[in-house]
Structure 1
Amino acid sequence: MDLDAVADELYGLRPEEFVTARDRRARDARAAGDQGLAKAVGALRRPSRAAWVSNLLVRRQPEEVRSLLGLGEELRRAHRELDGVRLRRLASRQNEVIGALGRQARRLAASRAAVGGLTRVGAGGRVGCGPRGGASFGSRVKFGMRRDGPWVDGQRSPSCPTRIPCGR
C-alpha cells in the first residue's frame, strides 16, 4: 500500500464516503506498522463537491480535459508573444471548451446523484448537499483533484503546475 494508490482510491469515492474510507485506510496502515503512511493518509482532506465532480470529469473524460490543458498552453504562448488576433480566437475557443466541460460535469454529477451521491443538482449547474448550495460549474471548473495538484489520467499535468486544494 502506498500513498498515491490510497489517494487515487479515496478521491474516486463520493465525498460522503471519503472520511470513513480514509480513516479505515489510515488504521490499516497503522496496523501494518507504517506510521508515516498512516499519518499521510489521515491528513488527506475530503474533496469539496466541486472538486469531486471535477475529478469525475478528469477520470471519465481525460481527452476532453487534455484539450483544455492544451488550450491553456496555447493561451499562455499567445500572451507571451502578445498576439492579439490569436488571443481573441483562443478566448472564444476557451469559452466553448469550458462550457462543454461544465455541461459534461453537470451530467456526471446528475448520474452520480441518481445513485445517491448528491442530494441536489439544481439549475445553472449548481451542485450541493444542503441549504448552502454548492459550486457553480461556469468558467471556474477545476480539474485533477489529487493530493498534490492537477492530474490527468494518472499523470501530473505539466501545463498546470500549481496546487489545487481539494478540501473545504
Structure 2
Amino acid sequence: MTIQVGDAIPSAKLMQGTPDGPQETSTEALFGGKTVVLFGVPGAFTPTCSAKHLPGFVENFDALKAKGADVVACMAVNDAFVMAAWGKDQGVDGKVVMIADGSADFTKKLGLELDLTARGLGIRCQRFALVAKDGKVTHVAVEAPGAFEVSRAEAVLGAL
C-alpha cells in the first residue's frame, strides 16, 4: 500500500551520493526532528528527471527553505555513485541531498515501486513528492504514469 498522510516514514538504510563518495544514512537520521521534502524519480540522467524535476528543486531551494523545509532530498533506484554524479552534473551544490535506494528497499516500503522491467529498467521508483515533519508524512503526491504536475517543486511549495 502506498504511504499516506499521517503515516510514519518506514525505517530503512539508504546511501547518500556525495562528492566524497557513498555515505550510509538512515531514514531516522534523514527525517528525525526535521521537515523534509523528499521527491522520487524513476532514474538519474533520464529526460524529465534531468530537464525538469531535479532542476526545479534546485531552483526553488531557497523558497522551500523559507517555507520551512530543513532538508530537500532526491531519491532514485540508482547507486550512490550515479546519484553523486547526477547531482554534480545538475549543480545541486549541497542544496539537494542525493539519496540512492539501489535495491528499491525503501521505495517498496513506501509502496511507490514501479515495474519497468519490460523497458529494461527493472524495478524503479514512481515519480512522487512528499513532505514529512519529524518522520510523519504531512503531504504526499504521486504522479499518474507519464505526468509531471503534482510532484513539481512549485506544487510542493504550495503544500508546505
TM-score (norm 1): 0.28
Higher helix share: 1
Structure label with greater radius of gyration: 1
TM-score (norm 2): 0.29
Higher strand share: 2
Query: Which has the higher relative contact order, 1 or 2, with Cα contacts under 8 A spaced 6 or more apart?
Result: 2
